[in-house]
Copies of this chain bind each other. A is one copy, B any other.
Amino acid sequence: MATEIPDEIRQKGERARHAARRLATLDSRTKNAALRAIAEQLHNAQDEILQANARDVEAGRAAGLGEAMIDRLLITPQRLKAIADDVLAVVALPDPVGEMFDGSTLPNGLQVAKRRVPIGVIGVIYESRPNVTVDVSALCLKSGNAVILRGGKEAANSNAALVRAIEAACQRSGIPEGAVQIIESQERALVHAMLRAHQYIDMIIPRGGAGLHEFARENATIPVITGGIGICHIYVDKTADLRKALPIIYNAKTQRPTVCNALDTLLVHRDVADTLLPQVADMLAAARVELRCEPRALAVLEGHPAVRPATPADFDTEFLSLVLAVKVVDGLDEALDHIHQHSTHHSDAILTEDYNAAMRFINEVDSAAVYVNASTRFTDGGQLGLGAEVAISTQRLHARGPMGLRELTTYKWVILGSGQVRA
Protein backbone atom coordinates (compact mmCIF):
# COMPACT_ATOMS: atom_id res chain seq x y z
CA MET A 1 0.00 0.00 0.00
CA ALA A 2 2.92 2.34 0.74
CA THR A 3 3.93 4.43 -2.25
CA GLU A 4 7.61 5.03 -2.92
CA ILE A 5 8.55 8.29 -1.19
CA PRO A 6 10.59 10.71 -3.31
CA ASP A 7 13.97 11.63 -1.81
CA GLU A 8 13.13 15.30 -1.38
CA ILE A 9 9.99 14.51 0.64
CA ARG A 10 11.79 11.94 2.77
CA GLN A 11 14.78 14.18 3.51
CA LYS A 12 12.73 17.27 4.25
CA GLY A 13 10.18 15.19 6.12
CA GLU A 14 12.81 13.77 8.43
CA ARG A 15 14.35 17.19 9.04
CA ALA A 16 10.92 18.67 9.75
CA ARG A 17 10.04 15.86 12.14
CA HIS A 18 13.31 16.40 13.95
CA ALA A 19 12.78 20.17 14.10
CA ALA A 20 9.21 19.75 15.33
CA ARG A 21 10.35 17.83 18.38
CA ARG A 22 12.55 20.75 19.42
CA LEU A 23 10.13 23.50 18.36
CA ALA A 24 7.43 22.02 20.59
CA THR A 25 9.28 23.01 23.74
CA LEU A 26 10.68 26.36 22.57
CA ASP A 27 9.65 29.33 24.71
CA SER A 28 7.71 32.28 23.29
CA ARG A 29 10.62 34.67 23.71
CA THR A 30 12.83 32.66 21.37
CA LYS A 31 10.06 32.27 18.82
CA ASN A 32 9.25 35.99 18.90
CA ALA A 33 12.93 36.90 18.51
CA ALA A 34 13.06 34.68 15.44
CA LEU A 35 9.99 36.39 13.98
CA ARG A 36 11.59 39.80 14.50
CA ALA A 37 14.74 38.50 12.82
CA ILE A 38 12.67 37.32 9.87
CA ALA A 39 11.10 40.76 9.44
CA GLU A 40 14.58 42.30 9.56
CA GLN A 41 16.04 39.77 7.13
CA LEU A 42 13.23 40.40 4.62
CA HIS A 43 14.36 44.00 4.67
CA ASN A 44 18.05 43.14 4.41
CA ALA A 45 17.49 40.68 1.57
CA GLN A 46 15.18 43.01 -0.33
CA ASP A 47 17.39 43.21 -3.42
CA GLU A 48 17.76 39.45 -3.71
CA ILE A 49 14.02 38.93 -3.19
CA LEU A 50 12.96 41.57 -5.70
CA GLN A 51 15.43 40.22 -8.28
CA ALA A 52 14.11 36.69 -7.82
CA ASN A 53 10.58 38.01 -8.09
CA ALA A 54 11.45 39.90 -11.26
CA ARG A 55 12.57 36.61 -12.84
CA ASP A 56 9.22 35.04 -11.92
CA VAL A 57 7.28 37.99 -13.29
CA GLU A 58 9.26 37.92 -16.50
CA ALA A 59 8.74 34.18 -16.90
CA GLY A 60 5.04 34.64 -16.13
CA ARG A 61 4.68 37.31 -18.80
CA ALA A 62 6.55 35.10 -21.27
CA ALA A 63 4.21 32.24 -20.42
CA GLY A 64 1.24 34.49 -21.09
CA LEU A 65 -0.09 34.88 -17.53
CA GLY A 66 -2.89 37.43 -17.31
CA GLU A 67 -2.36 40.77 -15.60
CA ALA A 68 -4.38 39.70 -12.53
CA MET A 69 -2.06 36.71 -12.06
CA ILE A 70 1.02 38.86 -12.61
CA ASP A 71 -0.26 41.28 -10.01
CA ARG A 72 -0.77 38.46 -7.50
CA LEU A 73 2.79 37.36 -8.16
CA LEU A 74 4.42 40.78 -7.97
CA ILE A 75 6.47 41.86 -4.94
CA THR A 76 7.21 45.56 -4.67
CA PRO A 77 9.27 47.21 -1.90
CA GLN A 78 5.98 48.40 -0.36
CA ARG A 79 4.49 44.91 -0.49
CA LEU A 80 7.62 43.39 1.01
CA LYS A 81 7.42 45.93 3.82
CA ALA A 82 3.77 44.95 4.38
CA ILE A 83 4.75 41.26 4.47
CA ALA A 84 7.42 42.02 7.08
CA ASP A 85 4.92 44.08 9.08
CA ASP A 86 2.54 41.11 9.10
CA VAL A 87 5.32 39.03 10.64
CA LEU A 88 5.75 41.64 13.36
CA ALA A 89 1.99 41.53 13.96
CA VAL A 90 2.33 37.80 14.72
CA VAL A 91 4.93 38.66 17.38
CA ALA A 92 2.23 40.64 19.18
CA LEU A 93 -0.23 37.72 19.24
CA PRO A 94 -0.40 35.50 22.34
CA ASP A 95 1.40 32.17 22.06
CA PRO A 96 -1.25 29.43 22.38
CA VAL A 97 1.27 26.70 23.24
CA GLY A 98 1.25 25.61 26.86
CA GLU A 99 -2.25 26.81 27.68
CA MET A 100 -3.79 24.48 30.29
CA PHE A 101 -7.52 23.87 30.17
CA ASP A 102 -10.29 21.48 31.25
CA GLY A 103 -8.30 20.83 34.41
CA SER A 104 -9.72 18.96 37.38
CA THR A 105 -8.81 16.71 40.26
CA LEU A 106 -10.51 13.33 40.06
CA PRO A 107 -11.98 11.58 43.11
CA ASN A 108 -8.92 9.28 43.21
CA GLY A 109 -6.63 12.32 43.49
CA LEU A 110 -5.32 12.28 39.92
CA GLN A 111 -4.74 15.82 38.67
CA VAL A 112 -5.85 15.91 35.08
CA ALA A 113 -5.63 18.73 32.55
CA LYS A 114 -5.24 19.25 28.84
CA ARG A 115 -2.19 21.14 27.69
CA ARG A 116 -2.08 22.86 24.32
CA VAL A 117 0.80 21.64 22.12
CA PRO A 118 1.76 22.21 18.49
CA ILE A 119 0.31 19.90 15.86
CA GLY A 120 3.81 18.96 14.69
CA VAL A 121 4.58 19.26 10.99
CA ILE A 122 2.20 21.21 8.76
CA GLY A 123 2.22 20.78 4.99
CA VAL A 124 0.96 23.77 3.03
CA ILE A 125 0.23 23.53 -0.69
CA TYR A 126 -0.57 26.85 -2.30
CA GLU A 127 -0.73 28.71 -5.53
CA SER A 128 0.99 31.75 -6.86
CA ARG A 129 0.89 34.41 -4.10
CA PRO A 130 4.38 34.57 -2.56
CA ASN A 131 3.22 36.42 0.59
CA VAL A 132 1.67 33.10 1.72
CA THR A 133 5.20 31.73 2.06
CA VAL A 134 6.02 34.23 4.79
CA ASP A 135 2.57 34.45 6.44
CA VAL A 136 2.27 30.72 6.90
CA SER A 137 5.87 30.31 8.06
CA ALA A 138 5.39 33.00 10.72
CA LEU A 139 2.15 31.45 12.02
CA CYS A 140 3.59 27.93 12.09
CA LEU A 141 6.75 29.09 13.85
CA LYS A 142 4.85 31.04 16.47
CA SER A 143 2.64 28.03 17.20
CA GLY A 144 5.68 25.74 17.47
CA ASN A 145 5.06 23.79 14.26
CA ALA A 146 7.54 22.88 11.55
CA VAL A 147 6.24 23.62 8.06
CA ILE A 148 6.88 22.13 4.65
CA LEU A 149 5.77 24.51 1.92
CA ARG A 150 4.91 23.67 -1.65
CA GLY A 151 4.22 26.82 -3.62
CA GLY A 152 3.19 27.30 -7.22
CA LYS A 153 5.81 27.04 -9.92
CA GLU A 154 5.09 30.60 -11.15
CA ALA A 155 6.52 31.92 -7.87
CA ALA A 156 9.35 29.42 -7.49
CA ASN A 157 12.20 31.95 -7.51
CA SER A 158 10.40 34.39 -5.22
CA ASN A 159 9.50 31.64 -2.76
CA ALA A 160 13.03 30.27 -2.73
CA ALA A 161 14.43 33.73 -1.97
CA LEU A 162 11.85 34.31 0.77
CA VAL A 163 12.60 30.95 2.38
CA ARG A 164 16.34 31.67 2.23
CA ALA A 165 15.68 34.88 4.18
CA ILE A 166 13.53 33.01 6.70
CA GLU A 167 16.16 30.29 7.11
CA ALA A 168 18.93 32.82 7.66
CA ALA A 169 16.89 34.57 10.34
CA CYS A 170 15.95 31.27 12.01
CA GLN A 171 19.54 30.10 12.04
CA ARG A 172 20.75 33.07 14.03
CA SER A 173 17.75 32.92 16.42
CA GLY A 174 18.13 29.43 17.83
CA ILE A 175 15.37 27.89 15.73
CA PRO A 176 16.16 24.28 14.82
CA GLU A 177 17.22 23.62 11.26
CA GLY A 178 14.34 22.29 9.20
CA ALA A 179 11.64 24.36 10.89
CA VAL A 180 10.72 26.05 7.61
CA GLN A 181 11.39 24.25 4.34
CA ILE A 182 10.11 24.48 0.80
CA ILE A 183 9.81 21.70 -1.75
CA GLU A 184 11.95 22.72 -4.68
CA SER A 185 11.08 20.11 -7.26
CA GLN A 186 8.27 21.35 -9.47
CA GLU A 187 7.18 17.84 -10.40
CA ARG A 188 3.47 17.39 -9.93
CA ALA A 189 4.10 13.94 -8.42
CA LEU A 190 5.67 15.61 -5.40
CA VAL A 191 2.30 17.04 -4.37
CA HIS A 192 0.79 13.56 -4.47
CA ALA A 193 3.68 12.14 -2.46
CA MET A 194 3.42 14.96 0.06
CA LEU A 195 -0.29 14.22 0.59
CA ARG A 196 0.59 10.64 1.52
CA ALA A 197 3.67 11.28 3.67
CA HIS A 198 1.81 10.71 6.93
CA GLN A 199 4.96 9.52 8.66
CA TYR A 200 6.30 13.07 8.33
CA ILE A 201 3.36 15.45 8.03
CA ASP A 202 0.48 15.76 10.51
CA MET A 203 -1.84 18.14 8.70
CA ILE A 204 -2.22 19.42 5.15
CA ILE A 205 -3.54 22.88 4.38
CA PRO A 206 -4.34 23.36 0.71
CA ARG A 207 -4.69 27.02 -0.24
CA GLY A 208 -6.11 27.36 -3.68
CA GLY A 209 -9.16 26.62 -5.76
CA ALA A 210 -11.73 23.87 -5.57
CA GLY A 211 -9.61 21.60 -7.77
CA LEU A 212 -6.71 21.64 -5.32
CA HIS A 213 -9.00 20.94 -2.37
CA GLU A 214 -10.67 18.06 -4.21
CA PHE A 215 -7.30 16.62 -5.21
CA ALA A 216 -6.07 16.82 -1.63
CA ARG A 217 -9.19 15.15 -0.23
CA GLU A 218 -9.11 12.36 -2.80
CA ASN A 219 -5.43 11.55 -2.39
CA ALA A 220 -4.32 12.44 1.10
CA THR A 221 -3.67 9.94 3.85
CA ILE A 222 -3.00 12.94 6.12
CA PRO A 223 -5.84 14.99 7.60
CA VAL A 224 -6.65 17.84 5.22
CA ILE A 225 -8.17 21.17 6.16
CA THR A 226 -10.62 21.72 3.35
CA GLY A 227 -12.17 25.09 2.97
CA GLY A 228 -11.87 28.40 1.34
CA ILE A 229 -14.73 27.75 -1.08
CA GLY A 230 -17.61 30.03 -0.20
CA ILE A 231 -20.97 30.13 -1.92
CA CYS A 232 -22.31 32.75 0.48
CA HIS A 233 -25.95 33.77 0.88
CA ILE A 234 -27.79 36.76 2.22
CA TYR A 235 -31.48 36.30 2.89
CA VAL A 236 -33.45 39.54 3.13
CA ASP A 237 -36.45 38.84 5.34
CA LYS A 238 -39.72 40.74 4.93
CA THR A 239 -38.98 42.73 8.10
CA ALA A 240 -35.47 43.75 7.02
CA ASP A 241 -34.51 47.38 7.53
CA LEU A 242 -33.53 48.52 4.04
CA ARG A 243 -31.25 51.22 5.45
CA LYS A 244 -29.12 48.42 6.86
CA ALA A 245 -29.79 45.88 4.11
CA LEU A 246 -28.59 47.91 1.14
CA PRO A 247 -25.15 48.80 2.58
CA ILE A 248 -24.66 45.21 3.78
CA ILE A 249 -25.49 43.76 0.36
CA TYR A 250 -23.27 46.31 -1.33
CA ASN A 251 -20.40 45.60 1.04
CA ALA A 252 -20.70 41.82 0.87
CA LYS A 253 -20.73 41.82 -2.94
CA THR A 254 -18.38 44.60 -3.91
CA GLN A 255 -15.88 45.35 -1.16
CA ARG A 256 -13.62 42.53 -2.37
CA PRO A 257 -15.43 40.30 -4.83
CA THR A 258 -12.51 37.91 -5.44
CA VAL A 259 -12.51 36.32 -1.97
CA CYS A 260 -14.35 33.41 -0.45
CA ASN A 261 -16.53 35.39 1.97
CA ALA A 262 -17.97 37.65 -0.73
CA LEU A 263 -21.69 37.36 -1.46
CA ASP A 264 -22.81 34.99 -4.22
CA THR A 265 -26.57 34.60 -3.83
CA LEU A 266 -29.18 37.08 -2.67
CA LEU A 267 -32.47 35.59 -1.49
CA VAL A 268 -35.30 38.09 -1.09
CA HIS A 269 -38.64 37.63 0.65
CA ARG A 270 -41.43 38.07 -1.93
CA ASP A 271 -43.11 40.76 0.17
CA VAL A 272 -40.13 43.10 -0.14
CA ALA A 273 -38.89 42.08 -3.59
CA ASP A 274 -40.70 44.91 -5.39
CA THR A 275 -39.23 47.55 -3.09
CA LEU A 276 -35.77 46.12 -2.54
CA LEU A 277 -34.72 44.59 -5.84
CA PRO A 278 -34.82 47.73 -8.01
CA GLN A 279 -32.74 49.60 -5.42
CA VAL A 280 -30.30 46.69 -5.22
CA ALA A 281 -30.05 46.54 -9.00
CA ASP A 282 -29.37 50.26 -9.33
CA MET A 283 -26.86 50.27 -6.50
CA LEU A 284 -24.97 47.24 -7.81
CA ALA A 285 -25.17 48.33 -11.45
CA ALA A 286 -23.23 51.42 -10.41
CA ALA A 287 -20.52 49.05 -9.15
CA ARG A 288 -20.74 47.08 -12.42
CA VAL A 289 -22.25 43.98 -10.80
CA GLU A 290 -24.18 41.66 -13.07
CA LEU A 291 -27.39 40.20 -11.57
CA ARG A 292 -28.41 36.69 -12.60
CA CYS A 293 -32.06 36.37 -11.68
CA GLU A 294 -34.44 33.42 -11.47
CA PRO A 295 -37.86 34.07 -13.03
CA ARG A 296 -39.60 35.82 -10.13
CA ALA A 297 -36.69 38.17 -9.56
CA LEU A 298 -36.38 38.69 -13.29
CA ALA A 299 -40.06 39.66 -13.44
CA VAL A 300 -39.42 42.45 -10.93
CA LEU A 301 -36.26 43.67 -12.66
CA GLU A 302 -37.30 43.08 -16.29
CA GLY A 303 -35.46 45.41 -18.58
CA HIS A 304 -32.89 46.57 -16.05
CA PRO A 305 -29.56 46.82 -17.91
CA ALA A 306 -27.47 44.88 -15.35
CA VAL A 307 -29.88 41.95 -15.22
CA ARG A 308 -29.99 38.64 -17.08
CA PRO A 309 -31.69 35.29 -16.46
CA ALA A 310 -29.99 32.87 -14.11
CA THR A 311 -29.21 29.30 -15.03
CA PRO A 312 -29.59 26.66 -12.28
CA ALA A 313 -25.78 26.43 -12.13
CA ASP A 314 -25.58 30.06 -11.03
CA PHE A 315 -26.93 29.04 -7.62
CA ASP A 316 -24.08 26.55 -7.21
CA THR A 317 -21.31 28.88 -8.29
CA GLU A 318 -18.72 30.76 -6.25
CA PHE A 319 -18.41 33.74 -8.59
CA LEU A 320 -15.27 35.41 -7.19
CA SER A 321 -16.26 38.30 -9.42
CA LEU A 322 -18.87 41.02 -9.81
CA VAL A 323 -21.75 38.62 -10.42
CA LEU A 324 -24.68 37.98 -8.09
CA ALA A 325 -27.37 35.31 -8.31
CA VAL A 326 -30.78 36.58 -7.18
CA LYS A 327 -33.88 34.66 -6.15
CA VAL A 328 -37.23 35.61 -4.67
CA VAL A 329 -38.45 33.18 -1.99
CA ASP A 330 -41.81 32.75 -0.28
CA GLY A 331 -40.33 33.12 3.18
CA LEU A 332 -37.83 31.90 5.71
CA ASP A 333 -38.55 28.19 5.14
CA GLU A 334 -37.76 28.40 1.47
CA ALA A 335 -34.64 30.46 2.23
CA LEU A 336 -33.46 27.86 4.76
CA ASP A 337 -34.08 25.03 2.29
CA HIS A 338 -32.25 26.86 -0.47
CA ILE A 339 -29.27 27.54 1.76
CA HIS A 340 -29.27 23.95 3.04
CA GLN A 341 -29.06 22.72 -0.54
CA HIS A 342 -26.70 25.23 -2.10
CA SER A 343 -24.45 26.66 0.60
CA THR A 344 -20.85 25.50 0.92
CA HIS A 345 -21.35 26.17 4.64
CA HIS A 346 -18.90 29.04 4.70
CA SER A 347 -20.82 32.26 5.56
CA ASP A 348 -24.53 32.96 5.35
CA ALA A 349 -26.55 35.89 6.66
CA ILE A 350 -30.11 36.94 7.40
CA LEU A 351 -31.17 40.57 7.33
CA THR A 352 -34.21 40.94 9.57
CA GLU A 353 -35.74 42.95 12.39
CA ASP A 354 -37.76 39.88 13.52
CA TYR A 355 -36.30 38.20 16.58
CA ASN A 356 -37.82 34.82 15.82
CA ALA A 357 -36.61 34.82 12.23
CA ALA A 358 -33.11 35.70 13.43
CA MET A 359 -33.17 32.88 15.99
CA ARG A 360 -34.41 30.31 13.49
CA PHE A 361 -31.73 31.34 11.01
CA ILE A 362 -28.83 31.04 13.43
CA ASN A 363 -30.22 27.78 14.84
CA GLU A 364 -30.95 26.10 11.54
CA VAL A 365 -28.33 27.32 9.11
CA ASP A 366 -25.34 25.09 9.53
CA SER A 367 -22.43 27.11 8.21
CA ALA A 368 -19.02 27.97 9.63
CA ALA A 369 -20.32 31.52 10.17
CA VAL A 370 -23.98 32.52 10.48
CA TYR A 371 -24.81 36.21 10.60
CA VAL A 372 -27.67 38.47 11.56
CA ASN A 373 -27.62 41.96 10.05
CA ALA A 374 -23.97 42.07 9.07
CA SER A 375 -21.84 41.61 5.98
CA THR A 376 -20.47 38.12 5.26
CA ARG A 377 -17.09 39.78 4.68
CA PHE A 378 -16.28 39.51 8.39
CA THR A 379 -15.44 35.79 8.16
CA ASP A 380 -11.74 36.44 8.46
CA GLY A 381 -9.24 35.74 11.20
CA GLY A 382 -8.16 39.36 11.44
CA GLN A 383 -11.74 40.65 11.59
CA LEU A 384 -12.96 38.11 14.14
CA GLY A 385 -10.17 38.73 16.60
CA LEU A 386 -7.80 35.84 15.83
CA GLY A 387 -5.14 38.31 14.76
CA ALA A 388 -4.23 36.35 11.64
CA GLU A 389 -5.41 33.31 9.77
CA VAL A 390 -3.77 30.39 8.10
CA ALA A 391 -6.95 29.20 6.35
CA ILE A 392 -10.74 29.29 6.54
CA SER A 393 -12.10 25.83 7.19
CA THR A 394 -15.45 24.72 5.82
CA GLN A 395 -15.02 21.18 7.04
CA ARG A 396 -16.43 20.09 10.36
CA LEU A 397 -13.52 18.50 12.23
CA HIS A 398 -10.84 20.24 14.27
CA ALA A 399 -11.70 23.85 13.37
CA ARG A 400 -14.41 25.69 11.50
CA GLY A 401 -14.18 29.10 9.93
CA PRO A 402 -11.05 31.20 10.32
CA MET A 403 -8.07 29.27 11.68
CA GLY A 404 -5.51 31.25 13.65
CA LEU A 405 -2.64 30.26 15.90
CA ARG A 406 -4.78 28.26 18.30
CA GLU A 407 -6.16 26.19 15.44
CA LEU A 408 -2.55 25.21 14.61
CA THR A 409 -2.36 23.40 17.94
CA THR A 410 -3.73 20.26 19.52
CA TYR A 411 -3.54 19.12 23.14
CA LYS A 412 -2.21 16.34 25.29
CA TRP A 413 -3.63 15.07 28.54
CA VAL A 414 -1.26 15.64 31.44
CA ILE A 415 -2.03 13.37 34.38
CA LEU A 416 -0.20 13.84 37.66
CA GLY A 417 -0.52 11.03 40.16
CA SER A 418 0.87 9.80 43.44
CA GLY A 419 0.74 6.08 42.83
CA GLN A 420 -2.83 5.63 41.50
CA VAL A 421 -3.79 2.32 39.90
CA ARG A 422 -7.03 1.37 38.25
CA ALA A 423 -9.42 -0.74 40.27
**Beta-carbon contact of A373 and B418 below 8 Å:** yes
**Beta-carbon contact of B413 and A400 below 8 Å:** yes
Residue in A243, A374, A375 whose Cβ sees the most chain B Cβ within 10 Å: A374
Q: Contacts A21-B366, A106-B384, A251-B421; is A397 near B400 (CB within 8 Å)?
A: no
From residue 238 to 292 of chain A, which have CB atoms closer than 8 A to chain B?
Answer: 241, 243-244, 247-248, 250-252, 255
Chain B residues with CB below 8 A from A106, complex form: 383-385
**Beta-carbon contact of A413 and B401 below 8 Å:** yes
**Beta-carbon contact of B364 and A218 below 8 Å:** no
CA–CA, A410 and B300, complex, Å: 41
Residue in A104, A119, A203, A415 whose Cβ sees the most chain B Cβ within 10 Å: A415
The residue from B377, B378, B415 contacting A371, defined by CB atoms under 8 A apart: B415
- Total interface residues on A, CB under 8 Å, equals 69
**Beta-carbon contact of A367 and B421 below 8 Å:** no
Q: Contacts A396-B120, A419-B244; is A378 near B110 (CB within 8 Å)?
A: yes
**Beta-carbon contact of B421 and A117 below 8 Å:** no
Chain B residues with CB below 8 A from A384, complex form: 106, 112, 413, 415
Interface residue A369 (Cβ < 8 Å from any Cβ of B)? yes
Q: Contacts A374-B420, A416-B372; is A396 near B203 (CB within 8 Å)?
A: yes
> Can you list, as one digit per residue, whether each of A390-423 has a CB less than 8 Å from chain B (1) or not (0)?
0000011110110000000011111111111110
Chain B residues with CB below 8 A from A251, complex form: 421-422
**Beta-carbon contact of A413 and B218 below 8 Å:** no
CA–CA, A252 and B422, complex, Å: 8
**Beta-carbon contact of A364 and B420 below 8 Å:** no
Instruction: Name which residue of chain B comes closest to A112, CB basis.
Output: B384
Closest CB in chain B relative to A147 CB, distance in Å: 15
Closest CB in chain B relative to A291 CB, distance in Å: 20
Chain B residues with CB below 8 A from A321, complex form: none
Main secondary structure of the interface of A (DSSP, over half): mixed
Interface residue A368 (Cβ < 8 Å from any Cβ of B)? yes
CA–CA, A412 and B395, complex, Å: 11
CA–CA, A395 and B252, complex, Å: 38
The residue from B217, B370, B417, B419 contacting A221, defined by CB atoms under 8 A apart: B217
CA–CA, A222 and B177, complex, Å: 34
**Beta-carbon contact of B221 and A218 below 8 Å:** yes
> Can you list, as one digit per residue, whether each of A341-372 has a CB less than 8 Å from chain B (1) or not (0)?
00000000000000000100011101111111
Q: Contacts A418-B244, A419-B248; is A374 near B340 (CB within 8 Å)?
A: no
Interface residue A24 (Cβ < 8 Å from any Cβ of B)? yes
Interface residue A25 (Cβ < 8 Å from any Cβ of B)? yes
Instruction: Name which residue of chain B comes closest to A255, CB basis.
Output: B422
Chain B residues with CB below 8 A from A68, complex form: none
Chain B residues with CB below 8 A from A334, complex form: none
Q: Contacts A218-B221, A366-B24; is A119 near B396 (CB within 8 Å)?
A: yes
**Beta-carbon contact of B1 and A112 below 8 Å:** no
Interface residue A379 (Cβ < 8 Å from any Cβ of B)? yes
Interface residue A198 (Cβ < 8 Å from any Cβ of B)? yes
Interface residue A223 (Cβ < 8 Å from any Cβ of B)? yes
Chain B residues with CB below 8 A from A373, complex form: 416-420
* Nearest 7 CB-CB pairings of A with B: A374-B417, A251-B421, A244-B419, A377-B422, A369-B413, A398-B398, A397-B398
14 pairs, A vs B, C-beta closer than 8 Å: A110-B374, A110-B378, A117-B366, A120-B366, A203-B397, A223-B223, A362-B414, A370-B414, A372-B417, A373-B416, A374-B419, A374-B420, A377-B422, A400-B412
